[in-house]
Every structure is written in C-alpha cells, then in structure tokens.
Amino acid sequence: MGWIEENMKFTNVRKILSQAISLGMVVSLALMMWKGLTCITGSQSPVVVVLSGSMEPGFQRGDILFLYINKNPIRTGQIVVFNDGRDIPIVHRVIEVHEHEDTKEVDILTKGDANEDDDRMLYASNHDWLQQKYIMGRAVGFLPYVGWFTIIMSEKPILKYILVGGLGLLVLTSKE
Amino acid sequence: MHSFGYRLNGLLTFSLTILTIMCAIASLSDNLNTPSPSAEIQIININRFQKQPQGNDEVSLTMNISADLQSLFTWNTKQLFIFVAAEYETPKNSLNQVSLWDAIIIAKEHAKFWIHTSNKYRFVDQGNNLRGKEFNLTLHWHVMPKTGKMFADKIVLTGYSFPEEYR
C-alpha cells in the first residue's frame, strides 16, 4: 500500500503550496494597491494617521488623512504634512508663504491650529523656513477614528505579535 | 461554511463596506451645497510700523472683520477654519502671504460675526519693503468635514496700503 501513502504526501504538499501561493497573491495585491496609491497621489505616504492633538478640534489623534501633492505651489491655509529630518512627520497648517521672484522657491512657516506658537522651534536647526521639498503632501480628505488601529499596534507592539501569531495559527489550522 | 468564524468575518466585511460607502456619500453630498459667503475687513489703525534690528519691517494693526459664512455649513461640516492673510509683492518675492488672524467656527450660528481685533500673529516682512506698499487682505475659509473631502476658498479684498513712514 506504499504508493497510496506516497500519493497522499504529494496531495498534502500541493495543498500547502497552493495555500502559500494564495497568501502570496493576497500580499502582492495589497502591496500593488499601496504602491498604486503612492503613484496616484504623488506622495510617499498617501495616508497618514494623526498622532498628536496639535490640530484639534479639527483633527483628533487617531484620525486618518488622505494626502495629495502636485506641482501647484504651497499657499497659506493648506494643511501640509512635512518631514525635515525628524522621526515622524508633522501635520500642521501653513500660515506664512514667501515666494522668491527669481527661483520660484517658497519659504514656508507652519503652525498647529491648537498651538500658541508657530513651528519655527521644531524646524531643523539650520533653517528658519520650510521648503517645498520637505512637504510630503497636502491633506485633502479625512476619516475619523480609523487610525486608532495603527496607533494601538505601534504603541503596544505585543498586540501586533498576538495578531500576526493568531492569524498564522488560523491559516495553519484551517480545514481548507 | 456556517461556523461562527465565517459568519463574523462576513458580518465585519459587510459592515465595513457599508460604512465606507456611507462616508463617501456623505462627502459627495457636500457638492450639492452652493455657498454664498460675504465678508468685509476694515483697518482701524496701524498701531506700530517699525524696522526691527535685523532689518525686517514689522507691522501691528487693528481691524474690524465682519463676515457671513453661514451658507458654507452643511450637515457634514465639522468646523470652519477661517483666517485673514495679507498678500503683497516685493522686489525680491513675487508673492508674500502672512496670516494675521484665524478662528475656528464650530456652529453655524457663529458663522455670522463681527470682531474687532489686532493681528494675532506677528506681521514681519522678509526685508524692509513695506513703506507705502499696497496689499490685499484675503479672508480664507477651510471647510473640515465630518468625513471626506476638505475644500477651501477665499474672498480677496483689495485697496489697503501701508503708511509711507514708520511710526
């Protein structure tokens, strides 16, 4: 009866392989969608989570923002996400713009709606103004509360491991 | 096929999809609104007009701002962020925009207002080009929705100018 057992082993290997391929396809699909979104919106991170309360009451911690960037110049009032070399990007509003006549470059000053002072203290030590190159995107849309999932995952990493571990276990023990 | 896990999964997926569709519809309904805002700004007094030690002009002024922005509110509006900015041109800069005052309006009733205020934020030029210069005052508003697309617009008021001499 040896050839029957060998056949069953083959079927098991095929089943595992096909499950692995489905998993791989799901992951690639997610990656493609994310990269596609990056292309369409022009921003390196088209969706950001609001992490601080500096834009309250408009944006609370845990909201997500949809970003978009194009060649249009930055003007006052726009809500921008910038990163001039920090750990995490900041979402604040532009309150001053000076556009140079010769180079068409802009000097930008930002401030959080809920902050008393402007962001000059936060900028990297060698400049008083932000340049357009540090701006990752302009906020064009917003969804409340959805970002809490990401915040919880990053602030309590143990939950991340539990979730991934649990999902892995589910995949392994599922009957089909 | 009918285990608890499958049913829960199906339920969650369906509810998330419905929620997303509802948020999208809420955002789209904002396009049905046709706003008709109006505003007026009067400069009551230029309190200070000096050149700082570093060489930049600084201005402090008092204004009366009156506006009726009630037509901008829809059921999907969370708040209105409004600000007044001075816009002017200098030889070195083709455009300067300096925000002078801002406010957050949460309720439709407060969107029709009159305020007498000095500039909340310091008005400092890049250089000393302001003497006798003409500038525009723009009232901008940014509508922040409960969910969905944010949009903004402004009213430009022209005809203001700085004094010829420092004071």
| Structural domain boundaries in chain A | 1-41, 47-144
The confidence score (pLDDT) of residue B8 equals 86
Which residues form the domain of B6?
1-32
Contact A171, A23 (CB under 8 A): yes
**Would you say residue B166 lies in a domain?**
no
Contact B88, B160 (CB under 8 A): no
Q: Which helix (H) or strand (E) holds B80?
A: strand B77-88
**Would you say residue B167 lies in a domain?**
no
Residue A50 banded pLDDT, cuts 50, 70, 90:
confident
pLDDT of B14 higher than 90: yes
Min Cα–Cα distance to chain B from A2, Å: 34
Question: What is the complex's ipTM, to 2 decimals?
Answer: 0.84
Contact B152 A57 (CB under 8 A): no
Same-domain check for residues B66 and B137:
yes
CATH number of the domain that B90 lies in? 2.60.40
**Would you say residue B112 lies in a domain?**
yes
Same-domain check for residues B97 and B47:
yes
Token reading at A15: 């089943």
Q: What distance lies between CA B36 and its chain's CA centroid?
A: 16
Same-domain check for residues B28 and B106:
no
How many A/B residue pairs have CB atoms within 8 Å? Answer: 80
pLDDT of B166 higher than 60: yes
Same-domain check for residues B124 and B135:
yes
Contact B140 A77 (CB under 8 A): yes
Q: Which chain B residues are Cβ-neighbours of A97 within 8 angstroms?
A: 95-97
pLDDT of B10 higher than 80: yes
Same-domain check for residues B24 and B39:
no
Number of domains within chain B: 2
State the catalytic residues of A. 54, 92, 119
Residues A91, A112: Cα–Cα separation, whole Å? 8
Residue B85 banded pLDDT, cuts 50, 70, 90:
very high
Most A CBs within 10 Å, among B20, B99, B101, B119, to test the A interface: B99
- Domain A47-144 bears CATH identifier 2.10.109.10: yes
Contact B99 A104 (CB under 8 A): no
Residues B52, B30: Cα–Cα separation, whole Å? 46
A59-115 pLDDT, tens digit each: 888 888 888 888 888 899 899 988 887 778 888 999 999 999 888 888 999 998 888
Same-domain check for residues B74 and B40:
yes
- Interchain contact B103–A (C-beta under 8 A): no
Same-domain check for residues B120 and B44:
yes
